[in-house]
């Protein structure tokens, strides 16, 4: 029997969010353990009588100067040094919450209706409330799609194990298959993966609860 080669393609944000949801946890309460992720891939390869090549890990970073940039940089540095992981990074872009202008306008109108000075009301509001910016990843899906098709075309792997649920990857999956690769979708829950990707996948693997507990251990609380 000719041994086949597995390569992993991991949308870290998807795995963290959906894995936590499957465990009944908040994503803020768990962390991704890179060594456990590699061990999970090696176990899949062993059970399939295949060889694990490496896992391409896709995440997003804050721009330099952001409050979280230094801590994130240390995390990514350690991650990049994990055997079996190749790190690929997009960007995190922060946006003003879409509902913030409406709330502020309603507060000003309410203050005026009550005969209060709107500016004073808004100053007091800002002292007691802060809107969290909405964060969006940019470039991650593009990197996954490009790598999936490019590496399939170079015959780097026989099977891609994709951990992502985004429908925008459907055409990349189709293209990799047309180049001769198998594409297996791995997920904490098949219902969090787009229908288009599920229908194209050569196989769907659901990551079981034990695997998720290994991959997503709870964060250790920090005390002052």
Each residue's pLDDT tens digit, 159-205:
999 999 899 999 999 999 999 999 999 999 999 999 999 999 999 99
Q: Looking at the predicted structure, is the pLDDT value of residue 152 above 80?
A: yes
pTM here is 0.79
Query: pLDDT confidence of 104, banded at 50, 70, 90?
Result: confident
Query: What's the confidence (pLDDT) of residue 223?
Result: 43
As given in the structure block, the two tokens for residue 209 are 């609860």
- Give 131 or 167, the one with higher predicted confidence: 167
Count the neighbouring beta carbons within 10 Å of the beta carbon of residue 7.
Answer: 24
What's the pLDDT tens digit per position in 32-79?
A: 999 999 999 998 877 776 899 999 999 887 767 666 667 778 888 888
Q: How far apart, in whole angstroms, are the C-alpha atoms of residue 152 and residue 144? A: 12
Query: Is 107 exposed, middle or buried (CB count within 10 Å of its CB: 0-12, 13-18, 19+)?
Result: middle
Q: How far apart, in whole angstroms, are the C-alpha atoms of residue 58 and residue 169? A: 14
Please list, in sequence order, all residues whose beta carbon lies within 8 angstroms of the beta carbon of residue 153, skipping any fewer than 6 positions away: 179
Average pLDDT of every residue of the chain: 87
Query: What's the confidence (pLDDT) of residue 63?
Result: 64
Query: What's the confidence (pLDDT) of residue 120?
Result: 86
Contact 152, 182 (CB under 8 A): no
Q: Closest Cα to residue 60, out of 132, 143, 134?
A: 143
What's the pLDDT tens digit per position in 5-28?
A: 989 999 999 999 999 999 999 988
């Amino acid at each position: 029997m000719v041994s086949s080669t597995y390569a992993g393609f991991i949308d870290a944000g998807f795995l963290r969010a959906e894995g936590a949801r499957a465990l009944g946890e908040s994503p803020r309460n768990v962390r991704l353990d890179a060594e456990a992720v590699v061990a999970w891939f090696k176990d899949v390869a062993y059970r399939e009588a295949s060889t694990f090549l490496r896992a391409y890990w896709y995440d997003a970073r804050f721009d330099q100067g952001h409050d979280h940039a230094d801590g994130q940089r240390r995390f990514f540095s350690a991650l990049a040094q994990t055997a079996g992981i190749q790190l690929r990074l997009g960007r995190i872009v922060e946006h003003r919450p879409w509902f913030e202008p409406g709330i502020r306008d309603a507060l000003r109108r309410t203050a005026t209706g009550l005969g209060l000075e709107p500016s004073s009301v808004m100053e007091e509001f800002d002292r007691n409330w802060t809107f969290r910016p909405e964060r969006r990843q940019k470039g991650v899906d593009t990197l996954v799609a490009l790598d999936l098709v490019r590496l399939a075309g170079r015959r780097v792997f026989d099977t891609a194990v994709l951990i992502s649920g985004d429908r925008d990857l459907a055409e990349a999956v189709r293209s990799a298959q047309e180049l001769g690769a198998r594409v297996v979708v791995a997920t904490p829950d098949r219902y969090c993966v787009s229908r288009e990707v599920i229908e194209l996948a050569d196989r769907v693997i659901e990551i079981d609860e034990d695997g998720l507990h290994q991959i997503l251990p709870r964060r250790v609380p920090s005390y002052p």
